[in-house]
Every structure is written in structure tokens, then in C-alpha cells.
Amino acid sequence: MQEHLDALEKHMQQLQQAMRHAQMQRDQGQLKELRAELRRAQRSYDALFDRDGDTGLDAEDPAAGRTRPAVVQMPAREQVHQVLTLLTVPAAPKLISAVHEALFAGSLPATRLATLRRDEERSYRSAPMSRPYYLCPALTSDHLSPARALLTVSVWPLEERIVGPLSARVHFLTSAVKITEAVERLTAEPETMTLGARQLVRHYALNIPGALSADHHLQDRSAALDLALLREAAQQELAVHTDDDTCDRGDAAHRARQQLDEAGQLFGAPFQTARRLRSVT
């Protein structure tokens, strides 16, 4: 719950700042949209408190003689933003959904993210920069075109929103570190880890050399994993690939700044120009 509250508080502060800016610019259309989004965020914030204590009872309240309103869930874009902020690297909807299920309250089926990227781009192009952040596709380092099924956050530096030849592995290892750290913060003892968190951590441990202790039995899915060992193994392999990956993405980001406008740097080069941009330096 605390992660939801922190993210919502930050989001509402950003919306309030954007509203002040829109008011100064006398942009009533943008101000109206921001105010509506702030109201939605406030309802989500209030709803989190309804999940605990005497405000978190069943939807039917016989004593009051009325039906209690259903708990309002955070919008999908805010849930995705939470997960991406935790991971700090581009991620696919399937991973975003798995991380949210393991570490956050509520559900976020991957199917809810199918049209999210298109909706974000449509919103940006109709009213550029009217939101504190946008969910954008990662950009490929060769064509500077949208990478398939990888989401990022618009406020990240361009270098962090580009994927190169080594990025998939670097992002996998980085995610392992961030998820392990989050699980350690949320879990007092390995035995109390939720099923979703256990499955997620196990997936990473099985795919990183040295992440499993010598006495760990692969067939025993209930066996506790050594989170510190997993984090250390991921960090050691990261040290091997990070410099080369950073260099590749830095070169691509330099090219993108020269060749793409602001919208292109967020959502990628148009399809018809992607091939040409591959070789232009």
C-alpha cells in the first residue's frame, strides 16, 4: 500500500504543478484535462484507505442500510508507471503485470496494456506535454523506431529509453537487482514471500549464473532463495555488459537528438523514415 500512496502523492503534486502552468498560459482545455486527472488520482488515493480498518469492510453495509461504493483502482497507466519506476528499465507488458502482481496491491492484467501506448501517443499529439509523464515505447538503437512491446517513461533520459544489442540482457539483470531489493524491503523473512514474488525471483535466479546456492534443489519450487546471492550474481554480470551497452545507447541517443523532433524522441521515427535514419550519422 505504501508504494501506491507514495506514487499517487508524487503524481498529484506533478498534476498540481502542471495545472498552475496551464493557468498561467491561459490554456483552459489543458487545465480542464489536468483537473479531471487530478480528481481521478484523488479518488484512487482515498480508495487506498478504504482497504484497511473499518472503512475496508464488505461492499454491502447492512448497518447503514446502503451499498458501499466499490474501491476505485488506480488507472492502468499509473500502475504501469509505478512498476517502470521500480525497474528503471524498459519492460514488456507481461513483466510489468508479473511485477505488479508480486509487489503491489491489486491486479494489472497484461491485456489492459494492449492499447495503452497508442492512447498515450494520441494524447501527446493532441495536447503536447499536457501530462507530467507519458508511457512511451523504447526506441531501437539502429532504426530509432519503436521497439515492440517495450514501455518506458517519457521523463527518463533518452539514453535510458533506447535499446541496443546488449540491452535485453542488461535490462534483465537490472530488473533482477531492483526486484530483489524490493522483495527484501517488503518481506521480513524469505518464507513469508508471496507466491507471485517467489515465482518472479525464481525466474531470475534460474537464468543468472551463480544465482543459486550449491545446495539448492531445482525441483523444489517451494525452497527459499538466497536473495543476496541473486543480487550479487546479477550485479557481477552487469559489470561485464554495462559499459558496452551504455556506449551503444549513447551513440544512438546522440543520433536521435540530431534527427528526430521532440515527438519522435518520445514515440520513435515514422515508419517510412526509420530505414533511412539507420545509417545517417
Q: What is the pLDDT of residue 64?
A: 42
DSSP conformation class of 146: E
pLDDT along the chain (281 residues), means of 10: 62 72 73 73 62 40 42 78 95 95 84 88 90 94 94 95 97 96 79 81 93 70 79 96 96 95 91 51 48
Q: What's the grid cell of residue 41? A: 488520482
Pairing of strands 162-163, 135-140: parallel
Mean pLDDT of the chain: 81
- Cα dist. 247→77, 151, 165, 175, 265 in Å? 31, 21, 11, 20, 18
Lookup result for grid cell 534483465: 172
Spans of all domains in the chain: 1-74, 75-281
Q: What is the pLDDT of residue 31?
A: 75
pLDDT, one tens digit per residue, over 82-114 is 999 999 999 999 999 999 988 887 788 888 888
Write the burial class of residue 232 (CB in 10 Å: 0-12 exposed, 13-18 middle, 19+ buried).
middle
